[in-house]
Structure 1
Amino acid sequence: MTAATLTDESPHRGTARRRPLRRGTPRRGPVGTNRFTAGRIAIHGLLALCSIAFLAPLLMVVSASFSSESAINDKGYSLLPRHFTTFAYRYVAGDPSQVLQAYGVSILVTVTGTLVSLLVMSMLAYTLARRDYTLRRPLTLYLIFAMLFNGGLVPTYILITQYLHLQDTLFVLILPYLASPWFVILLRTYFASLPTEIMDAARIDGAGELRTFFQIVLPLSTPALATVGLFTGLVYWNDWWLGLLYIDNEHLAPVQLFLYRIISNIDYAASTPQAGQLVTAPVQTVRMAVAVLAIGPIVIAFGFIQRYLVRGIAIGGLKG
């Protein structure tokens, strides 16, 4: 046979049937393989440029933390360290035991607060997602009101110090951020989008509300829980305000408060002529080193849950 042929398997017979192809007919690859190649290259190139633009400031911060103070003052910031030195980190970690203790407090508060906060907010959100709950609408309005208005700084300080007596305890770093109305509404929206047939089947099989919640609802809500957990962990890790207000014991100071005090001391030494003559501190490099020490653990944690972030961020637009 002079013409090119194509072999195709017959659905009813085990033999192959050959169909002739006309000369000059181009063979087509998989659908969509070669379409819009130039457009895809342009999109990937644009995304690569955006990624470089986002990573460049971070690289400059890390580079400045390993550069000498004189090099930054003379030549400015760069992507690579100039006059490589670890003096800024040795200055911040002058007493390694205090740094490790501050990290231990922050890790304990962040892990405990995030887990307990997820439990409390998910249980409240699941209750609000139940259509048969009679107080569903009033409680939702109460959450929205609490999200828009708060009690103010002075009443909150009096409540925590005079009535609850939580000053200089780890509870004061956990309880104020335990439930966020915005995250509760996000979780409620996600729970409402879950198929109710699965929950109804579990109840028919004899499962109670707690078993349905822990064994069915929570495993199906991993993207939402991971996203809310990431943002809640960021709130706990980056907080220094509660420690500044309520923590006087140095052994209970979180890492953000510890680093804040270092920056305050450096700024005071740099702005006071008498102190500047006694103490010479690398102001710029220490600030960059503090930034690296503050964001390092969060960047590492983000790498483990980034696959859930894109799916979880869109939970607010699924259903109203």
Structure 2
Amino acid sequence: MNIKPEGRFQVFANIVMILITLIAIIPLILLTIASLTDNSALIRNGYSFVPEKWSVYAYQYIFSSGNSVPHAYWISLVLTASGTLIGLTITTLLAYALSKKFLPGRGILTFIVFFTMLFSGGLVPTYINYTGVFGLKNTFLALMIPGLLMNAFNVMMMKSYFVTSIPEEIMEAANIDGANEFSVFFRVALPLSKPIIATIGLFIGIGYWNDWMNGYIYLTKRTDLYSIQNLLYRMIQNIQFLVNNSSSLTGADKSLGSIPSVSVRMAMAVVGVLPIVIVYPFIQNNFIKGITLGGVKG
């Protein structure tokens, strides 16, 4: 049977995509299985898709070790939802304004946004400003405000989408019908921008969900404001401390025997990544379309 060149290329492309998919999925499967493996068996036999002994003790340890994982989850959910909504609003408004050719100083503003992709103020000046000037230390805003200083990549991608994917004729028709710039933005531009909005929203949301640096730097006393990433990071530090100092701690051998020091790390990774894995399938179509169209140079 003869296969046309287009057919051969399609078969080859499908095989490549299947391999890439397996490369992405297999580590997640192995991670989940390792988190459900008995700690002693995991240390003795290493990672395996068919463990010698199954156990959910790592998850029991996470949720019953005195650390409020549900509360940290709630902090992360509120932070991600509010930060994504506000950040997406600021990014969309700025990108729409920069897409207008008649905007005074458009070139200078675009350069300022692009400049932040190359240089930043640095950690020390940023810390001094947020703690000394704005007084954000040990507050919930310390987790949110740093992420609201728009990512220039997101702004440029959304600007390119407005320029290349929304016909100028539609906006001009709306202006002729008497719509002002705000009406054009909310009634014309936004409804046509769902793919890029979903894409940028996912970027911002993942950034907030995975962020642990802001909590590590700015939350020195308010541990009740720890996000799930901060809490899991602190738990890993505590376990590592016990393991490294077991010889100098009285009764440490007995305590360490009840800590799933290896499998608990896998369980923490699963707990941290699970919401992203659940949410992504529902927005993947818009995500792919937004990446494709928004990446076109405007």
With normalisation by structure 1, the TM-score equals 0.85
Q: Answer yes or no: is 1:190 the counterpart of 2:161.
A: yes
Partner SS, residue 104 of structure 2: coil
User: Residue 220 of structure 1 corresponds to which residue in structure 2?
Assistant: 192
- Once the two structures are superposed, residues 57-78 of structure 1 have per-residue CA deviations (whole angstroms, 9 ceiling, x without a partner) of 1111000000011111121111
Give the counterpart of 2:223 among 250, 268, 273.
250
For residues 242 and 65 of structure 2, the distance between their equivalents in structure 1, rounded to whole angstroms, comes to 19
For residues 151 and 99 of structure 1, the distance between their equivalents in structure 2, rounded to whole angstroms, comes to 34
Total equivalences in the alignment = 288
User: Residue 116 of structure 2 corresponds to which residue in structure 1?
Assistant: 146
Partner SS, residue 283 of structure 1: coil
Partner SS, residue 148 of structure 1: coil
Q: Answer yes or no: is 1:58 the counterpart of 2:28.
A: yes
Q: Answer yes or no: is 1:308 the counterpart of 2:282.
A: no
Closer, same or farther in 2 for the Cα pair 1:317/1:236, shift >3 Å? closer
- Once the two structures are superposed, residues 163-222 of structure 1 have per-residue CA deviations (whole angstroms, 9 ceiling, x without a partner) of 111112211111111111111111111111121111111112121211211111111111
Q: Answer yes or no: is 1:125 the counterpart of 2:101.
A: no
Structure 2 residue runs without a partner (length 5+): none
Q: Answer yes or no: is 1:267 the counterpart of 2:240.
A: yes
Give the counterpart of 1:277 among 249, 253, 258.
253
Higher-Rg structure is 1
Partner SS, residue 174 of structure 1: helix
> 1:277 offset after TM fit, Å?
2.4
Does the 8 Å contact 2:130/2:137 carry over to 1? yes
> 1:314 offset after TM fit, Å?
2.2
Partner SS, residue 190 of structure 2: helix
For residues 87 and 179 of structure 2, the distance between their equivalents in structure 1, rounded to whole angstroms, comes to 25
Residues 1-320 of structure 1: pairs in structure 2 closer than 5 A = 40-94=10-64, 98-178=68-148, 179-193=150-164, 194-247=166-219, 248-272=221-245, 273-275=247-249, 276-280=252-256, 281-320=259-298
> 1:39 offset after TM fit, Å?
5.2
Cα RMSD after superposing both structures: 1.9
Higher helix share: 2
With normalisation by structure 2, the TM-score equals 0.91
For residues 36 and 130 of structure 1, the distance between their equivalents in structure 2, rounded to whole angstroms, comes to 41
Answer 1 or 2: higher relative contact order, Cα 8 Å, separation at least 6: 2
> 1:157 offset after TM fit, Å?
1.0
